[in-house]
Structures are given as C-alpha cells and as structure tokens.
Structure 1
C-alpha cells in the first residue's frame, strides 16, 4: 500500500512539475530585477474562465506533496504572501517563487477565514486519503461489519473535508456538525446495506457498485447538512472588485449544488472503473494464489483514477462562482441596486 501511495504521489508530482515548467517562462526576467508588486495573486495563476485554466490550477492545489510541508515552510509562504499583499517584496523573490508560495499558502489556509486548515481536510490530502478509504470500501463490501466500518470511516473523513472547505467565514455549531455527521453516516450505511441485500441474487459485479451508490447518497446528505448554516443565513457575496455586498442564501444553494455534483463525479471513475478490472483480475491465477493482494491493487487503481478525477472534477465549476443580481433574493436585489446601481453580477467562494 505504501508503494502504491508513492506511485500515486509521483504521478501527481510529475503533473505539478510539468505545469510549473510551462508556466515559468518569465523567471529569468524576474531574476534580473526586483519583482513587481502589480501581480494579482488574489486570483489563480491560470485563466479561470476556461476549463483548462481551472484544471491547471487544481492540479496544483491538489498536489499531494503539499501535505508533507512543515509548519515552517507554511509560515514562510504565509509571510511571503502577506507581505506581498501589503506591497512588500521579499529580497530576491522571483515570480515563480511567488506563485509557488501562493499555492502553498492556499493549500493550507482557508480563503475566507484565513485559518490554517486541518491537515486531512486539505485538498492536497484528497488523493492519498480517498484512495485508501475508497479502495478498502470497495474491497471489504460483502459483510455487514465491513460495510458499517468503512462507510463510517468515509463519512467521518467527508465531514472533516466539508467543514474544512466550507464557504464563508461564519462558525458552525457543534450541534450542526453532529447532525450532519450522524445523518450522512446513517444514510450511507443504510443505502449500502439495503443495496447489498438487493444484490445477493444477481451478478457479483453489481455488488461492487454498492459503495458508489452509498457514497453518492451520502454526499447528497452530508454536504448540505454540513453547510446548513449557509443555506439558512447565506454566504458572503461581492462585486468583481471584492467589495462585500451582503449574504445570499440563493448563492449558497448554487454553491452547494455545484459542490455536490463535483464530489459525486469525482468519486465516479475510482468507484466505477476498478470494479470491472477487479472482477476480471480476481478470476486469474495470481489473485487466487495471493488473495491478500486484492486490497493493495484496488487501492492503487482507485488512486490512479483519483490523481486525474480530483483536479478535473474540482475544475468543473469556477471556484469564484457568480450569478446574476436578478437571481438573488428580492430584498437583496433592492439593496444592491440602491447602493451599487452598476452591479449586474455578484461573486462568491463556492467551497470545495
């Protein structure tokens, strides 16, 4: 399993290296003169109006190597970015180093609250954590205790991720966290056990898709419940210059819907492709002779799929999402038109 994880991280590292090499054409110029303070590091390095630009951005954001960074490295990047935003350029800083610091900063600190995020809740932990949990969930799905254990572990992890990557800067109460966690775990376990019972008399191949159905159902429960405060009170909305205009529940509904779709599609390749491969491999002599290899192989297959699915599905919708003022709540529309008559679209962080 350790070897599999290393291979997966190496794949992600290769993509990261390629992206940084292709984006570093101006580094020689930066070495010759002091770095300009006019680079807009509030936005990602690549054009976020295109899917390709968002994909490049998220291949960097989900780079698993970021979880190996020390607190000193994180604080160093934090200082570079904080100073740069105040017009102070670290001596000898190049543009590539600035962008690297920004992505390290973004990988560890919440965009709205500025707090350092829980390690396993960061997007850079998605591939190694999900490949392990999902691989085991799909390997040990036949018995009730195994279903309950791995669905519980998966929803515990999802609860941490959903809380860590929530949109907005409003706190979530312990009771809200507890309700979301218990509801999602119950829903996932009930779905998995119910489908397991239905598939006992049909092809074993269909049984391998039970974990995916349970995960999809749980995402539809877990994410809205974990972010229920946003649905009740709204999330911060701004104009294109980041001037805060208020809080909108309509924006929260759009943001959460997009996240649910992304999460389900993110899980799809890793939970849909390996079942066919494993169903074929387990009929071969190798796995019949070494059945204990089934779990590591399954984890590896899931990890390979997640290396691509995680950033590509994160890129389906812009992180800085937007909507027309005319789609906001009527009272908020009136407030914006009275105080900012020229604003036609509002922007918000959709979360991840």
Structure 2
C-alpha cells in the first residue's frame, strides 16, 4: 500500500482528525516546493523517518502533492492546495448576475473545465498504471464539461432567450435555481469524469495493505462518496451567501446602501467556500472501507477482518 494511504489509515479515520490534516494540507505555500523536494519528502514518508520529526513538512508535501496510486507528482494547478485559489474566483464569477448569455457560458465553462480536470487528476487510477489517457476518456470529459456548462448557464439562457422581464421570475432564476443546480452539477461532474472506476473497478487491499484484486463495488462507493462531498461543497457555497443576503436585506443599512448587497454576496461566498473546502474533503476517509458482504464473491475471502480498503481519490 502506498505510504500516503498508510498515513491516512493510521491518522485519518475520524472526521475531526481528517479535518485537522486537511487544514494543513491546503496551505498554498506548499505549491512553491519543487518536484525534487516533493519526491524527497515522499521517500522520507515511505521510509518512516518523518515519524521522528516535529514539523512533519515531508508528510504535508507528500500528501498534498503526490498521487497515492501512481506515485507521480500531481500537476501544479490540480493539487489540493491549488483548489481554493483557482476555483474560488471561478465560483464567484459563475454566480454573477450576467446581463447576457456569453459571459454566463464563459464562466461556467471555466469552472466546469477546472472541476473536471481536478476530478480526473485526483481520481483512483489503480487500474490505469502505465496507460495513457484514452480518446474515449477525453471525449467523455469534453461531453461532461459541455453538458455541465450549458446546464449551469440555463438561468441566464432562460432570461435572455425567453425575454423574461418579470422581477420575481428573474429573482427566482438568478437566486433560487442556482442553489440545487450548483450541487447537482458538482455531483454530475465527479460521477461522469470518474465513471471508469465503477465500470472496471478499483484496487482493494486487505487489513495488512496487500492488494487483493479489483472491485466495481468499491469503485462505485469511492465515486459516490466523492461526488456527495463535492455536491456538499458547491451546494453550501451557493446556499449560505444567498440566505445571508436575504436576512440582511431587511436591515436598514442595506436598504439605505443597496450597493452593499453585491460585495456582501461575494465576500460571503469566498468565506463559506474557504470553510467548506476542508470540511468537504474530510467528509469521507481518503482510505475508505467496504464491508465483506458488499464486495464481489471472489474478494470476500480476502476480507479477514470483515472489510477491505480502497483509495477514495479526491
């Protein structure tokens, strides 16, 4: 089993412990480290030498920058510490009340493209080692981004193409509809981009960390957990700022200074998303477990303690 997964097995089985780890891992300063330093940190983590060090800097570098299946250094913009600084302006831009369809489509395209790239880079790739990305996978990602972009821009498309001038309907399309839509599209993006995992299966391990075979059931569980965590992230990021604006709109201050509504919405979006990223990453263990009764028949004998382990991805 990969050193990163062994670390998650011993340190990340409770939500609180995972949350503390992710708060450290999401520090953008780690993005300044070179690939050579990251590989050195991974080697130290694998040798166990970092267990005697106080700072744990090597652990942070390895866990935040190295893929747990391939052992390769992740692309810079798709590492977990880059998720917040890259995706946050895209989310804010996608929530803007655009005047025309073009900007709405552009912001959605940028957001959905980055989300697809992040989901793909951080997937479980245990069955793809030594293989290049296939044309089928590229076409699937392109289709996912295209569909999610069009669906995300639907509120503005309805307003512009149908010539809607009613203020209540516009308010519904721009304020209410994006709430469930954001969560649904985040779920869809993960589920579609990582479909290979529940179609072909992913590597599962016994309690000693030994690989015992491929499991489609574990792949389905890994993708479902990640999709739910991403839906929680984008859903909360869409819901909470709108609720805050609705609450404060009744105050005299915002009634007198209506221009404060937009900055309040943007600042609350940034604040909520900043809080929700480590929370959503921590909702499910990175090294997940699947019970013996839920695995394939040929794998049940390997579940000596009643369960098998798998890398969930991110």
- The normalised TM-score by structure 2 is 0.82
Decide whether the 8 Å contact of 1:64 with 1:124 is kept in 2.
yes
5+ residue gaps, structure 1, are 1-38
Closer, same or farther in 2 for the Cα pair 1:40/1:139, shift >3 Å?
closer
Aligned to 2:114: 157
| Cα displacement string for residues 24-81 of structure 1 (whole angstroms, at most 9, x for unaligned residues) | xxxxxxxxxxxxxxx99931498423211111111122223323x131xx52243144
**Partner Cα distance (1:52, 1:181) in 2:** 37
Decide whether the 8 Å contact of 1:240 with 1:346 is kept in 2.
yes
* Pair 1:43-2:11 in alignment: no
**Partner Cα distance (2:229, 2:4) in 1:** 27
**Partner Cα distance (2:214, 2:5) in 1:** 24
Match of 1:85 among 32, 46, 64: 46
**Partner Cα distance (2:4, 2:303) in 1:** 26
- Alignment length, in residue pairs? 298
Match of 1:144 among 101, 106, 111: 101
**Partner Cα distance (2:119, 2:5) in 1:** 25
Decide whether the 8 Å contact of 1:110 with 1:117 is kept in 2.
yes
| Cα displacement string for residues 214-251 of structure 1 (whole angstroms, at most 9, x for unaligned residues) | 33232333222211221221011001221000111100
Match of 1:58 among 18, 22, 27: 22
Closer, same or farther in 2 for the Cα pair 1:271/1:41, shift >3 Å?
closer
Closer, same or farther in 2 for the Cα pair 1:46/1:142, shift >3 Å?
farther
Decide whether the 8 Å contact of 2:42 with 2:61 is kept in 1.
no
Decide whether the 8 Å contact of 1:188 with 1:218 is kept in 2.
no
Offset at residue 94 of structure 1 (A): 5.3
- The normalised TM-score by structure 1 is 0.74
Aligned to 1:108: 65
**Partner Cα distance (2:148, 2:45) in 1:** 46
**Partner Cα distance (1:192, 1:41) in 2:** 38
Match of 2:304 among 342, 346, 350: 342
**Partner Cα distance (2:185, 2:5) in 1:** 35
Offset at residue 168 of structure 1 (A): 2.8
Closer, same or farther in 2 for the Cα pair 1:109/1:204, shift >3 Å?
same
Offset at residue 191 of structure 1 (A): 5.1
Aligned to 1:34: none
* Pair 1:197-2:158 in alignment: yes
Aligned to 1:13: none
Aligned to 2:124: 167
- Once the two structures are superposed, the pairs formed by residues 261-280 of structure 1 within 5 Å of their partners are 261-278=228-245
